[in-house]
Amino acid sequence: MNVKKRLSGIWLMTMTLLSLCAFTVFFVAQMWLNILFAFYLGLAVIQSVTLFIYLWGPEKLKYKPVQVLYRLFYASSIFVIPAFIFIFMGLISQYHIAIPESIDASAMASEDILPGEKTTIYNTGTVYVFFPEYSKVDLVCQKRPSKSDASITWCSGAAFQHEVSIDFTQENVEGDHAVNGELYLSPYNKDAFAAFTFADGRFSFEFDNPSEAIKEAADLGGSGFMQFGLIHDKKEVMNFDRPRARCYRTMAELNGHLCIIDSVNMLHFDQFMEELHRLGVTNAIYMDMGAGWNYSWYRNASDRVVTLFGLPVPWSHNWVVFRK
């Protein structure tokens, strides 16, 4: 066997292992996007078949169409490295960064966890509690908010989107929503949805009639969106479980103030809920968006942008922002 064939074999073995590894990461991390699932599974199968034919001997292929197919399969290996990098970045994006500037609240009474004059962050050991500095909370659609916008103190994904699509339409946003007084009705309202609204200088959570709450916010020139209800009047209303460990997020009302609560590390959903109950969260909606969709950042008290999850995906099209 000459050097060229040996290098070809090493290349195919490496690409097959990488493609299998990428699909395994995709599967275990449950990054469930149908298009990507088919792509990663197909890539792993194609590389495995190509390697099998190489070991068997491609010179034994008698029919020209099969020979051409083998060459195409071999050429597809060039997609393995970028696919592996993408899925690796997606996995990393599910891990929360450490926030050393946060206030140690592990021994602090929950009623003392309160906002400050500037963006204030507490670390209970289990969750971070963010109190962004704000005078207004907006829903931004289509164009991702810029970190250079000095008025924004918090940015994160807001409503779910019904389909994975590069193109943006208001109809693809799940749940009725309002953007600075403009009302958009959705065909994808769910019974488990609650509404968060901000209008006339006040925030509100509505669990009984979220559609009407969104309409009222629009009438007042405000913004709002729907997400799964998590806690209502200190009682859990989430009607489904999340069986695996990950970083969780909620937009919540704590001690009468609006905040964002993130888990410090990956944990199970019931542990996250236990901490929310221990803190005495009054109302909360589910804000965990999954890998890539959970792109988020905040502006700290020194006006420096701190990125929490830094991998935006091009099919994410709506965000909630807090503004000074």
DSSP state at residue 265: S
Percentages helix, strand, coil for the chain (3-state, rounded to 5) are 35, 25, 40
Q: In this predicted structure, what is the pLDDT of residue 245?
A: 65
User: Cα 59 from chain centroid?
Assistant: 48
Given a contact cutoff of 8 angstroms between Cβ atoms, the answer to whether 192 and 221 are in contact is no
Which token pair is 68?
Answer: 């051409």
Q: In this predicted structure, what is the pLDDT of residue 66?
A: 82
Q: In this predicted structure, what is the pLDDT of residue 154?
A: 98
Q: In this predicted structure, what is the pLDDT of residue 33?
A: 57
Under 8 Å CB-to-CB from 286, ≥6 apart: which residues?
Answer: 227, 228, 229, 230, 238, 250
Across the range 234-258, mean pLDDT stands at: 86
Q: Determine the Cα–Cα distance for residues 318 and 142; give it in Å rounded to an integer.
A: 6
Higher pLDDT pick, 145 / 294: 145
Length of the chain: 324
Q: Is residue 56 very low, low, confident or very high in pLDDT (cuts 50, 70, 90)?
A: confident
Given a contact cutoff of 8 angstroms between Cβ atoms, the answer to whether 157 and 294 are in contact is yes
Whole-number mean pLDDT of the chain? 89
Higher pLDDT pick, 212 / 6: 212
Q: In this predicted structure, what is the pLDDT of residue 289?
A: 66
| Per-residue pLDDT tens over the stretch 76-108 | 888 898 888 877 766 665 567 789 899 999 999
> For 173-188, what is the HEC assignment?
ECCCEEECCEEECCCC
Higher pLDDT pick, 289 / 266: 266
| Per-residue pLDDT tens over the stretch 262-276 | 999 878 888 999 999
Closest by CA to 213, choosing from 193, 237, 233, 235, is 193
Q: CA-based Rg of the chain, rounded to a whole angstrom?
A: 24
Alpha-carbon distances of 39 from 20, 76, 104, 316, rounded to whole Å: 12, 12, 44, 19
Least confident of 38-42, 156-160, 239-243: 239-243
Given a contact cutoff of 8 angstroms between Cβ atoms, the answer to whether 138 and 223 are in contact is yes
| Per-residue pLDDT tens over the stretch 169-202 | 999 999 999 999 999 999 999 999 999 999 999 9
Given a contact cutoff of 8 angstroms between Cβ atoms, the answer to whether 124 and 275 are in contact is yes
Q: In this predicted structure, what is the pLDDT of residue 189?
A: 94
Residue with tokens 């190509």: 50
Least confident of 72-76, 142-146, 228-232: 72-76
Q: At 14, phi and psi to the nearest 5? A: -65, -45
Q: In this predicted structure, what is the pLDDT of residue 323?
A: 97
